Amino acid sequence: MTEMDATDSYNSSIPRDVYRQIDPIGFYSDFIRQYVRPNGRKLHEYRELDVVDLLGENRNFSSMPKEEGTTISSVRLAAGETHVHCVVKAFPILCDVPAEACPDSDSLITVDIELSKHLQPYVYDVNGVCANLNYCVSAIIENVLNSSDVLSVDQLRFHQLLDAGPQGGANDKISEYIVKMRLTWKIEIAIHFEEYDGNLVDMAILATSFALQKAHLPIALLEYSNLRGSYVIRYLDEKTLEQAFNDDCKICLEEDVCAQQLVERFKGVDFIGVPLHVKALPCTVTFLKFQRGTYILDPSNEEEKLGVNVSFYCLRGSDGSIRTQILNLMGCQGITADDYHCLEQVALDVIKSIANKKY
């Protein structure tokens, strides 16, 4: 997008780039009077999103879990010059102590946001007293994902699935072992900002939502190891699909499908895994409050220096319904009721537009 010309609105004797540096608010004001930004983007126009599924069809899991976790989703999101890489990893956990001493954790999902070293000064300078914005946003995403609104967290707790199953609970040695050891999935989400041109909040949450949509959990098997004298976890892969259920010492840890159904289900497919059940997708839509009640949607890094950001948290359900709540992390003041309703409508339009596109 090319830079627009607004030389008629300022002293042309001052070089354009110099004017932009010494009086950025005045420079932007000249364009805002024309309801556009210097690059031609409208004030309430969101940048085009580009989403790349880095795993693609290459989702075949190794038969043995890795200590560093198994990558179940890897997505790169680009919006203008902001580039975000989001990786979702899964860890199967067996508790080593009796069940009564190993209570269920309410935080099965952890989130970390990392800024490339060369980006840190830009983000910290813009946010001032909120220099730890990335930590604040990661905590918000973590709390949201561990709630019952977004993910069905019970799908990560195998022992609860067995207790709630049609058989009325554990009825064999392996099931008893699963319940006793509280076999659970732990999910780690790493969000890495590779390049930054504004709007950390939206881009972090959008990258997470896109990654969750593409996440698949491995089919976990519990196998008795004579060498170790205990059970070990394996993942079902194509090579072991047919014989995986012939040994009485192995069990599929899925909620309601038996071995024969799985064999038919995954016969001839490119990879073996179960989509993560996502009930609703979290998003935020961020505005920058400029002078005289002017709001700029999806601010760039340069624009973030001209005012204070305010976001709308939006939760889009599978039925298309959207719930909104204002998220004022930066302490933006002077938001009137009319402002609120106007911004909320713009936010809803943005979310619907994103939802209607295939990424």
Q: What pLDDT score was predicted for residue 99?
A: 47
Task: Report yes or no on 48 lying in a domain.
Answer: yes
Domain containing 46 equals 25-32+40-355
| Higher-pLDDT residue of 134, 211 | 211
Q: What pLDDT score was predicted for residue 160?
A: 61
Q: What pLDDT score was predicted for residue 259?
A: 46
Q: What pLDDT score was predicted for residue 197?
A: 94
- What confidence category does residue 249 fall into, taking pLDDT thresholds of 50, 70 and 90? very low
- What confidence category does residue 24 fall into, taking pLDDT thresholds of 50, 70 and 90? confident
Task: Report yes or no on 104 lying in a domain.
Answer: yes
Residue 77, Cβ density class (10 Å: 0-12 exposed, 13-18 middle, ≥19 buried): buried
Q: What pLDDT score was predicted for residue 132?
A: 78
Which strand (E) or helix (H) includes residue 349? helix 337-355
- What confidence category does residue 226 fall into, taking pLDDT thresholds of 50, 70 and 90? confident
Task: Report yes or no on 4 lying in a domain.
Answer: no
- Mean pLDDT on 105-114: 86
| Higher-pLDDT residue of 184, 344 | 344
Total number of domains in the chain? 1
Q: What Cα–Cα distance (Å) separates residue 83 from each residue in 76, 292, 310?
A: 7, 31, 21
Read off the pLDDT of residues 33-89 as tens digits, 9 standing for 90 and up: 889 999 999 999 999 999 999 998 666 666 666 777 889 999 999 999 999 999 999
Task: Report yes or no on 174 lying in a domain.
Answer: yes
Task: Report yes or no on 61 lying in a domain.
Answer: yes
Sign for the CA dihedral angle at 273, 210, 313, 280 comes to: negative
Task: Report yes or no on 226 lying in a domain.
Answer: yes
pLDDT averaged over every residue in the chain: 80
Q: Residues 198, 82: contact at Cβ < 8 Å?
A: yes
pLDDT over 70 at 101, yes or no: no
Task: Report yes or no on 123 lying in a domain.
Answer: yes
- CA dist., res. 145 & res. 143, Å (int): 6
Residue 221: CATH number of its domain:
3.30.230.70
DSSP 132: T
Task: Report yes or no on 186 lying in a domain.
Answer: yes
Highest mean pLDDT, choosing among 94-103, 275-284, 341-350 = 341-350
Read off the pLDDT of residues 148-158 as tens digits, 9 standing for 90 and up: 889 887 788 77
- What confidence category does residue 311 fall into, taking pLDDT thresholds of 50, 70 and 90? very high
